[in-house]
Every structure is written in C-alpha cells, then in structure tokens.
Amino acid sequence: MQEPTFSSALVLFAHPDDAEFMCGGTVAKWARDGCEVHYVVCTDGSAGSNEPGTRRELVAPIREREQRAAADVLGVKTVTFLGEIDGLLEVTPATRKKVTREVRRLRPEVLVAPDPGRLWSGEGYINHWDHKQAGLLALTAVMPDSPTRVMFQELESEGIEPYEIPNLWLPSDAPNVYVDITQTIDRKIEALAQHVSEEGEAAAPWVRERARQVGEEAGVEYAEAFKTFRFSDDDE
Ligand SMILES: [Zn+2]
C-alpha cells in the first residue's frame, strides 16, 4: 500500500470535532511528517448542547476553544472559523465565497472534506445536514469556484489569486486509499477527548474499533479510509 504524502492540507468541515472523527489519525500522521495542516470550520458549533437553558452564544465559544485544543493535540497549524450557524449551513454564494477565500489563501495540496453523498450509514445513523453541505462546499470549491478567475473576482482586491486544488480526499466506506494510523490512533483519541462538552472521550471505544475494522481491510492494525481524486496531470 503506497500512501501519498503532501506538503500542505486543508480540512474543511462543518462542526468542531468532525475533523477528529473523520481523519484525526491521518491529520496527526501528516503533521508529524511535516505537512502543514490547516482547519477551516464552517459553523460555530452552537447547537452542540441540548441541555435545558442552553443558548447558542454560550455554547459557541466553548466549542471553539475545544476545537483549538484538539487541533493542538494533532499538530494542526491554523484553525479558521467561518462562523455559519450550526444546523443551518447552506451552499450559497456567500458561503461559497468564504470557502473560496480560504482555499485560495491557503493553497493546499490536498483538500479533505466530508462526502456530501453520504445520507446515512447502517441502520442507526442519519448524516447531519451540515456535513453534507460542507462536503458540497468543498466540491464546489474544487470546481468551479477556486480555479475560476471570474468567480468572486472581488477577492483579487485582497491579493487572492485563483487556485486549482490538485487533490480531494473524502472519508469513505468505499475507499481507494487507506492511511495506516497505527502510530497516531492514540493522538486521534486524545484529540477527541478535548471535545469535553460533546463527551468526546466516550467515543473512544467505538472510534478505536472502527479504525481497527478499517485497518483489517487495509492489512494494518488501525487505518482511516478515503475516496481520493487527483486533478493535476503533472505526474512526477
Ligand atoms: Zn458534525
């Protein structure tokens, strides 16, 4: 199994903790190996509590703090919040422009995002609306938004030039690439534990078990799995 390596990565996702669940082991591995990993979080995470008396403005700062702590555990270089309202993420010209700004600014070699086609899995999980929107925003950034000069051309005045994203990775149950995270599964679990308000630590047993199952498919102890796309033709 030949694993591609990258010098820079952008992980685009909906909520604080999504990236850790999706690809925390891969992020930790890439960062350890010298890849500059950036996070862009679409929403404010303000729907993260269901306690009576909860209010969005109380929850959002807690979740931002927890996300920054988790990113630190994994070695993520920057975390940017786009500030959309948790639960109400939409693909609009405004959100597309926000994502395009970050992609063009950071110019990552690989964009990692949720699979927008995932509606559910198994018999006990319906995928969150925002996850699908975040995935669609990523695909829309790949084509046409980020590379097309006249899309959000006003960004030129900020000194931001169009950018062709060379690689897109979507966590997937039908993968073509496995990442061996045997060395970083503990980091992934430690990062999830930073999401105290979401009881991230309680997810550890099933997160580990899932990574073990994927690892079995890959022939390693623990793994994460991706459907990957490569758009540039400059094969070296
Ligand atoms: Zn989420």
CB 11 within 8 A of CB 210: no
In this prediction, residue 205 carries a pLDDT of: 97
Mean of the per-residue pLDDT values for the chain? 96
| pLDDT bracket for residue 232 (50, 70, 90) | confident
CA atoms of 235 and 98, how far apart (whole Å): 31
Going from the Cα of 99 to the center of ligand 1, the distance in angstroms, rounded, reads: 17
Going from the Cα of 15 to the center of ligand 1, the distance in angstroms, rounded, reads: 5
In this prediction, residue 4 carries a pLDDT of: 87
Average pLDDT over residues 173-199: 97
CA atoms of 107 and 90, how far apart (whole Å): 23
Beta strand residue intervals within the chain, DSSP E: 8-13, 36-43, 78-84, 110-112, 120-121, 125-126, 167-171, 177-180, 223-230
In this prediction, residue 236 carries a pLDDT of: 47
Cα-based angle 182, 186, 188 (whole degrees, multiple of 5)? 95
Among 1-10, 167-176, 195-204, 222-231, the range scoring the smallest mean pLDDT is 1-10
| pLDDT bracket for residue 1 (50, 70, 90) | low
| pTM for the whole structure | 0.97
Going from the Cα of 2 to the center of ligand 1, the distance in angstroms, rounded, reads: 30
In this prediction, residue 3 carries a pLDDT of: 85
Do you find a cis peptide bond into 16, omega within 30 degrees of 0?
Answer: no
Q: Which residue is it, tokens 């496995």?
A: 178
Going from the Cα of 22 to the center of ligand 1, the distance in angstroms, rounded, reads: 10
Going from the Cα of 166 to the center of ligand 1, the distance in angstroms, rounded, reads: 26
Going from the Cα of 167 to the center of ligand 1, the distance in angstroms, rounded, reads: 23
In this prediction, residue 147 carries a pLDDT of: 98
Question: Residue 226 pLDDT > 80, yes or no?
Answer: yes
CA atoms of 79 and 77, how far apart (whole Å): 7
In this prediction, residue 234 carries a pLDDT of: 59
Going from the Cα of 152 to the center of ligand 1, the distance in angstroms, rounded, reads: 28
Number of H helices, E strands in the chain: 6, 9
In this prediction, residue 235 carries a pLDDT of: 52
Q: What is the pLDDT of residues 179-189, one digit of tens each?
A: 999 999 999 99
Going from the Cα of 132 to the center of ligand 1, the distance in angstroms, rounded, reads: 10
Going from the Cα of 16 to the center of ligand 1, the distance in angstroms, rounded, reads: 7
Average pLDDT over residues 208-223: 98
CA atoms of 20 and 183, how far apart (whole Å): 15
Q: What is the pLDDT of residues 107-150, one digit of tens each?
A: 999 999 999 999 999 899 999 999 999 999 999 999 999 999 99
Average pLDDT over residues 34-47: 98
